[in-house]
Chains A and B, each alone.
Chain A
Amino acid sequence: AQTVTQSQPEMSVQEAETVTLSCTYDTSESDYYLFWYKQPPSRQMILVIRQEAYKQQNATENRFSVNFQKAAKSFSLKISDSQLGDAAMYFCASPAGTYKYIFGTGTRLKVLA
């Protein structure tokens, strides 16, 4: 079965510091996208960043960047200059067959003032 693993149930970071959330995936797709989503207490899932697997360059969106290691099937999210508003659950997602994505179990990020 195709899987997505987030091995860190909870992480803490000091405001203005940098934190990295881990994700490994196992997909048999040859061409795919990977995603990180953020779910704050409001429960709205918000897209953080997308990585196209055929691109070697790591995706970056402002303070958010990924470290994509295709051979290792690793897709970690780095948040720089952490802000209080970054506190949320973070989910990574990977394709799992046709017309279906699966999500990791999530990492709860706490930002300490």
Chain B
Amino acid sequence: KAGVTQTPRYLIKTRGQQVTLSCSPISGHRSVSWYQQTPGQGLQFLFEYFSETQRNKGNFPGRFSGRQFSNSRSEMNVSTLELGDSALYLCASSLAFPDTQYFGPGTRLTVL
């Protein structure tokens, strides 16, 4: 089975722009979670989706949003980018919570 894929792998944006990141889960996995990883804050939970429904959301401003499609693929969007949004964004999929999460390679976002 193919693993979790994330696109793009690298992104450079400027402050004020918006960005959309994509995640394709392992085939058959319906739960997708997103995390932000920074050196200072570590791994922070953003949100979790299952069957197109957001079931939990982390403590992030409303500029961070996401969605899941009927094929379980997920996107997250960050609007009005700030310098502090520079991070590695990781997507993880599982059959269902609380089963094992498998991670994608991440998207490295740099905000200038």
Q: What is the size, in residues, of chain A's interface with B at 8 Å between Cβ atoms?
A: 26
Q: Is A35 an interface residue (CB 8 A)?
A: yes
Contact in complex: B102, A47 (CB < 8 Å):
yes
Contact with B along A52-67 (1 / 0, CB 8 A): 0000000000000000
Chain B interface, >50% SS class: strand
Range for the number of chain B residues in contact with chain A: 20 to 34
- Inter-chain contacts of A97 with B (CB < 8 A): 56
Residues of A that sit less than 8 Å from B by CB: 29, 32-33, 35, 37, 42-47, 50, 91, 93, 95-106
Q: Which 10 A-B pairs have the closest CB atoms?
A: A45-B103, A103-B43, A99-B56, A99-B55, A99-B48, A99-B97, A100-B56, A105-B42, A44-B105, A100-B45
28 contacts between A and B (CB under 8 A): A32-B98, A33-B99, A35-B100, A35-B101, A42-B105, A43-B105, A43-B106, A44-B103, A44-B106, A45-B90, A45-B92, A46-B103, A47-B101, A50-B100, A91-B43, A93-B101, A95-B98, A96-B45, A98-B55, A98-B97, A99-B48, A99-B56, A100-B33, A101-B45, A101-B101, A102-B45, A103-B35, A103-B43
